[in-house]
Structure 1
Amino acid sequence: MKKKKIIIMFLVALIFPVYAEKLNVVPMEQLNIAAGFGYDIVKELNGNVQYSIPFSIYDFSKREKKGAKSTDKKEEITEQGSSNIKAKASSIGETREQRQLNSSKPIIIGTEEIAIISEEAANYGIKDIINILFANAKTNDSDFFSVCKGKAEDILRFKVEGYPSSADYMGGIIRNSTDYNFLSINYSLWNIYVALESEGENLVLPYLEIKDEKICITGMALFKGDKMVYVIPMEESKIMNMLREKKGKGILSLQEGPDKYINYDAMVKRKVKCNKTEGKYEFIIELDFKGDIINNTLYKDMKKENESEFEELMEKKIENMCYGFLNKMKNVYKIDCLNLGMVAAAKYGRETGVDWNKEVSNADIKVNVKVEIDKMGIGQY
Structure 2
Amino acid sequence: MAGMTASGLGKRFGETDALRAVDLAIENGEFLALLGPSGCGKTTLLRLIAGFEVPDAGELHLGDEVVARAGWALPPEERNVGMVFQSYALWPHMSVADNVGFALKVRGLEAGECRRRIEDALELVGLGGLSRRKPAELSGGQKQRVALARCLAMQPSVVLLDEPLANLDAHLREAMQIEFRRFHREIGATFVYVTHDQSEAMALADRVAVMDRGALQQVAAPRELYAEPATEMVARFVGRGMVLPVTVVGQDSGFIVAEAFGAQMRVRGTAAAGEERLLCVRPADLALDGAGMEARVTAAAFQGAATIVSAQIEQGEHVLRLECHGLPPEEGAAVRISVRDGWLLPAGRA
Instruction: State the structure with more CA Rg.
Output: 1
TM-based fold match above 0.5: no
Which one has more relative contact order, counting CA pairs under 8 Å at least 6 apart? Answer: 2
TM-score (norm 2): 0.31
TM-score (norm 1): 0.29
